[in-house]
Amino acid sequence: FSFSWTNVWDCSSLEISFPISISETDLLEDAVSKEIKISDFAPDWICIPTKYENLTIDIIFNENAERVFEFNFNEINIINNTKPYTISPYTQKISLTLSGDRKTLFSLKNEDIKPYIDLKNITRGYKTLNVFIPTISNIKLKETKTVSVQVK
């Protein structure tokens, strides 16, 4: 967050930037208020009148959001492995970006996602397979994610 301060006597201005800490529980709310003590971030030579010392910032969140979940390959479920094949991944870590309802999205844990690959009609060899997620109300996989594997 940043704001500008303009001196009315000589029209000089100063922009002050400072971080605002947002927790995951904040993201479950429609809006939050954060109080900032300006002198903690302003240069020492700036004299801030007491009545302006504290600044309250109201943050209103969008209804939709995106969130990235990280998985190791061994956390990806394999379905329809009827032969049964041995699957050797070329990538051990998989990042899935989910989008949708912010409150739902930030209440999810990794174990709620349950990503999987489907081996239906698969043959041996080097394959690039799509990663899917089961239906989660108001949540979707932002983009198709693939994983490269060897099917033996």
pLDDT digits (tens, 9 = 90+) for 33-43: 888 887 787 77
CA geometry: angle 35, 58, 107, nearest 5 deg: 100
End-to-end CA distance of the chain: 53
| Residue 2: band (very low, low, confident or very high) from pLDDT cuts 50, 70, 90 | low
At 26 the pLDDT is 83
Task: Find the mean pLDDT for residues 65-71.
Answer: 94
For 67, half-sphere exposure in the C-beta direction (CA atoms, 13 angstrom radius) is: 19
Q: 107 or 62, which is more confident?
A: 107
At 4 the pLDDT is 63
Residue 84 clears pLDDT 80, i.e. is over it: yes
**Summary mean pLDDT of the chain:** 86
